Chains A and B, each alone.
Chain A
Amino acid sequence: MKAFLPKDQLPFLLEELGERIEVIAPVSTDAGPSFVTWQGQPLDLKDKPLTPITEFLLPHKEALFTYVQEAGRYIFKEEEIPSRLLFGIRPCDLHAIALLDRIFGREPPDQAYFRRRRATALVVQNCTSPGRECFCAGLEAGPEAKDPCDLQLTDVGDGFLCQAETPAGILILNAGRALLKPALPEHLQEKAKLLQEARRAMPQDRSCSQIRQAMERADWEALGRECLSCGGCSFVCPVCHCFNILDLGVPDGQRLRCRDSCMLPGFSRLTGGANPRRTPGQRLRHWYQEKFEDIPQITGLPGCVGCGRCHLTCPAAINRVDLTVASRFVDDSSEARR
């Protein structure tokens, strides 16, 4: 199902949807855009939030269940999972969700992930103005959404071309039926043109194999000396998914699943104290190997979606794509980003 939504009607559509389900949307704040529960705030559909939407499927910290001891027996209770509509997510993040589906869907499937995943509707916004850090085109993760989602939007100037792909997508459009106009062939032509331009605006030398070549050239120890071991790259990566489990509270408490980071030395430390990835350089090498060699073998897709968030968040003088020592602030002035 296709339709056209004039721009000024978008808040009304969100209002309609907000009455039925919790809508998460990229809102504009004076400290940058971020995905939060939409309650009428102004939207920022231009800039990509630093924290990827995948935090709604794999929270940085989530209680898997609570445990309470009663008369010598333990009672377990799972938390309620809220139903959510994730609005305005980017094709790169959608591609990351497709990857996570494959990773967490391997036998045995990760129930905690799929409980959230099943309760989530996805509305994607195609990228007509990619950021300076973006290189999704080279990894076939954007700028047009190719992965399954419920509804796809494209900003074609004065409004959005809406393309529903699932029954949920049709229901979303039906909720705003009164606001919609018919989609015209020109809208589809405009979409193709804008996305072609967006593809061209991105660097052309960032494919999986090109990054593998950069990995072979990289001086990992020199890069590792620059790395500040903040873990930021793994916390903003929409594909990174490693976690740690801990029980907090005795005798009653919660079993927590917390995001972990392979950039921390403790992640790979063995019981006896030895560490196969002792240096930051070895850990950085591992991070890239996982994304560009291991995940492709396991899932058939590169473990990077080209969102460039690692480059945005890295406080060190490391070019996260070329794998050279160079401050992002030298070639890419911070003022330009602000």
Chain B
Amino acid sequence: MEKVLTTCIYCGCGCGMFLHVDGGRIVGTSPSLAHPMSRGSLCIKGWLAADFVGHPDRLKSPLIRQGDLLIKTTWDEALALTAASLRSIQKEFGPQALGVLTSAKGTNEENYLLMKMARAALGTNNVDHVARLCHAPTVAALGFALGSGAMTGSISSLQSSDAILVVGSNTTEQHPLVASYILRARSRGAKLIVVDPRKTRLAELADLWLSPRQGTDVAWINCLLNIIVQQDLADRQFIKERTDGFIETLQATSAYTAEKAEEISGIPAADLVKAASIFGLASRGAIVYAMGVTQHFRGTDIVQALANLALATGNVGRDGAGVYPLRGHQNVQGACDMGALPNVLSGYQLLSSPQAQAKFVEAWGGQIPCEPGLTALEMLWAAESGSLKGLIIVGENPVLSYPHTSRVQKALKGLEFLMVSDIFPTETTALADVVLPAACFAEKDGTFTSTERRVQRVRKAVDPPGEARAEWEWICDLTERLGAKAEYSSPGDVMDEIASLTPIYGGISYERLGPDGLQWPCPTKDHPGTGVMHVSRFPHGRACFRPVLYLDPPETPDADYPFMLTTGRSMYHFHTGTMTRRTSLLDREVPTPFVKMNPEDARLMGIRDGTKVRVETRRGSISVEARLADGVHKGDLFLPFHFSEAPANALTAQSLDPVSKIAELKVSAARLKKEAP
């Protein structure tokens, strides 16, 4: 038996764990006692993280489409067909007819190589990934406000906070180890304010639970800022010395009185006053948030409003004080860092910067297109309209995870060429012309970057099944077939190139990545990494306030669709369930799709726990079991999106945030009726 130290594959916590390998198979998982995040603990998904690895459903050989069938082929044929198809599209329609969706489940090295392939070999900036549907608003808003779109401190520093404001995050279920640090602070006496329409476990444990109507966040956040300033709890010195734009923001927020915010959000004015004084009086205030904040058609504005609140109270740049966006995938931070985004190169270096252009052209040879490319949903729209012809999707299942399923399917079916790489067959591989079998996290080497900017090693514990390969290997192969250079002997080699071109990763190399990893910015080989950012200055000098105003969500309940539908995750499943639904214990916990509704609503409609109901929106309809939950407001519905047999995203819309291009996944007007038994 050997035990291989690696990093968990599920959420952004980045827990350090051992995979127990016996006879070439993984027989167990355990946490690392010494790891700065996990410290001997894991969540239930973590304890079972490697259970899916040897599952018989794994893709084991490359497949190519022949009519309605996907048939086995060789790597050489699959890659030759891919290269030829991409080249012919490129020749006939230009590079803008091609796109790449990279994977937040892949390693940093793989994301870097994919964005290099897109830019240097395909000649397009149409490269994006699932961050577009999670923290694109964070990257945009915190990038503008603080000069960096990442968590400002370390997760463990939360335990030294005096007040923690948790917004739109079901932390005990989705980031349990982050929750453990929040609860640790609470047992030290810190005040906990939870803002969530649902009464989550953390809301039950909070000093104050604020329950806003869906999509009204800007109103109550502006109101908190307004009250804090009125009560003279703002940090005037911090504002004066380190920020710009406060006066304009103050003018905009002054309209948001507690009474007005109550009218919009439904949060009692007295609670808003209480929350403002708790947060305003805290010497170390932390703001923790997740998808409940970002997945809105004005997601960037909501994040900016939170940043305004942190800046006005001087809660940035110290242990236990800061802005803590919780990332959903174990490497969505890294995929962003690697420049798998349409407008930046690795390390958020702007495409428009001549110096950055020159540096990358020199390293890669050839040309890099200057114009920003399309975002993920824009690529699908372009496919729908026929202007995008060829797409590579790596380790993602947009048919289930993107809003408005039928439109996504239509777009993908309309492509001339679709290549998908994954570890399991998915609803998306079913539409592909070429399917590549990938090695999973336990079968390859590389690095992941956690939500606290911690770059950590992932290590190979077992061989991939059949002919499956680590994605970095075929990406290099395909890049070379497309005529660009990609000669690397190992992922460590790729990291050396990343470090040479990416200032925030400049000091990172495999030799330096011990069990604690390194937190970026880590600019030089002797730099110890950065736990708390923005201590004495912001990357762009001074932090920026920006006034934001409340707008009604694009859809509100009406006579035809009287319910407010929101989507999210269950504690026992992850995303589209390709891994967790193949983990027997997790699948046992939540084997079937469900919609959570208020018991009073259910009683009026004659619905019991377990009754089959049909949920409909203007986009589609699905059939699921009802679950009665006291924590759900009257008039609200909560639907998890893991289940292909009842895809939540058949119901969601594609209304996009104008800045970050994230879709409104949290608010849809819906109706519900009992299914005939």
Contacts and interface: CB of A to CB of B under 8 A. Distances in A.
Contacts of B523: none
A35 interface: yes
Contacts of A235: 30, 47
A59 B27 contact: yes
A60 interface: yes
A316 interface: yes
Interface stretch (A94-102, A151-159, A184-192, A330-338): A330-338
Interface in B582-604: 584-585, 588-590
A315 B184 CA distance: 9
B42 A249 contact: no
Contact of B1 (A30, A56, A266, A325): A56
A246 B584 CA distance: 8
B677 interface: no
Nearest to B156: A334
A308 to B, nearest CB: 11
Contacts of B616: none
B176 A228 contact: yes
Nearest to B56: A249
Interface string B36-64: 00011111101100010001100000000
Nearest to B609: A273
A315 B56 contact: no
Contacts of B23: 79, 82
B585 A317 contact: no
Interface string A204-231: 0000000000000000000001101111
A318 B39 CA distance: 16
A219 to B, nearest CB: 14
Contact of A317 (B2, B35, B177, B184): B184
Nearest to A62: B27
B537 interface: no
Contact of B588 (A37, A244, A313): A244
Contact of A24 (B1, B55, B201, B584): B1
Contacts of B44: 229-231, 261, 264
Contacts of A62: 27
A225 B205 contact: yes
Interface residues of A, number: 56
Contact of B172 (A228, A244, A330): A228
B32 A31 contact: yes
Residue picked from B3, B16, B46, most chain A C-beta under 10 Å:
B3
A45 to B, nearest CB: 16
Contact of A228 (B26, B43, B610): B43
Interface string A80-119: 0010000000000000000000000000000000000000
A313 B41 contact: yes
A60 B177 contact: no
A261 B458 CA distance: 27
B237 to A, nearest CB: 32
A195 B43 CA distance: 36
B42 A232 contact: yes
A244 B584 contact: yes
A61 B28 contact: yes
A228 B179 contact: yes
Contacts of B51: 61, 258
B187 A317 contact: yes
Residue picked from B176, B515, B585, B590, most chain A C-beta under 10 Å:
B585
Contacts of B183: 226, 316-317, 327
Contact of A329 (B159, B179, B590): B159
B240 interface: no
A19 to B, nearest CB: 18
Interface string A48-70: 00110001100111100000000
Nearest to A35: B1
B589 to A, nearest CB: 4
A56 B35 CA distance: 24
Nearest to A274: B609
A62 B18 CA distance: 17
A273 B591 CA distance: 12
A315 B176 contact: yes
A203 interface: no
A230 B39 CA distance: 14
B55 A248 contact: yes
B232 interface: no
Contacts of B31: 50, 232, 313
Contacts of B1: 24, 35-37, 56
A264 B159 contact: no
A314 interface: yes
B589 A244 contact: no
A228 B27 CA distance: 24
B187 A326 contact: yes
Nearest to A48: B33
Contact of B176 (A29, A82, A230, A337): A230
B47 A230 contact: yes
B34 A34 contact: no
A79 B25 CA distance: 13
Contact of A266 (B3, B18, B39, B588): B588
Given A56-B1, A231-B44, A31 B35 contact: yes
A50 B40 contact: yes
B188 interface: yes
B627 to A, nearest CB: 10
Contacts of B589: 264-266
Nearest to A248: B56
A134 B590 CA distance: 36
A260 interface: yes
Interface string B155-183: 00001000000000000100011011001
A32 interface: yes
A312 interface: yes
B187 to A, nearest CB: 4
B552 interface: no
B487 interface: no
B28 A51 contact: yes
A17 to B, nearest CB: 16
Given A24-B1, A50-B40, A225-B201, A312 B28 contact: no
Contact of B3 (A34, A253, A314, A334): A34
Contact of B29 (A60, A228, A329, A334): A60
B34 A230 contact: no
Nearest to B30: A51
Contacts of A34: 3, 18, 30
Contacts of B42: 230, 232, 313, 315
B176 A312 contact: no
Contact of B32 (A24, A32, A261): A32
Nearest to B45: A230
A324 B112 CA distance: 48
Interface in A273-313: 273, 312-313
Nearest to B201: A225
A23 to B, nearest CB: 11
Given A30-B34, A36-B2, A314 B41 contact: yes
B403 to A, nearest CB: 30
B22 interface: yes
A260 B179 CA distance: 24
B33 A32 contact: yes
A334 B183 CA distance: 15
29 contacts: A36-B1, A50-B40, A51-B20, A51-B30, A55-B28, A59-B28, A60-B28, A60-B29, A225-B201, A225-B204, A230-B41, A231-B44, A232-B41, A244-B588, A249-B56, A261-B44, A265-B589, A266-B589, A273-B609, A312-B33, A313-B31, A315-B176, A315-B180, A317-B180, A317-B186, A325-B187, A327-B184, A329-B159, A338-B39
Given A61-B28, A230-B41, A232-B42, 8 more contacts: A30-B515, A79-B23, A225-B205, A244-B588, A312-B33, A315-B42, A315-B177, A315-B180
Interface of B: 1-3, 5, 16, 18, 20, 22-23, 26-35, 39-44, 46-47, 51, 55-56, 159, 172, 176-177, 179-180, 183-184, 186-188, 201, 204-205, 514-515, 571, 584-585, 588-590, 609-610
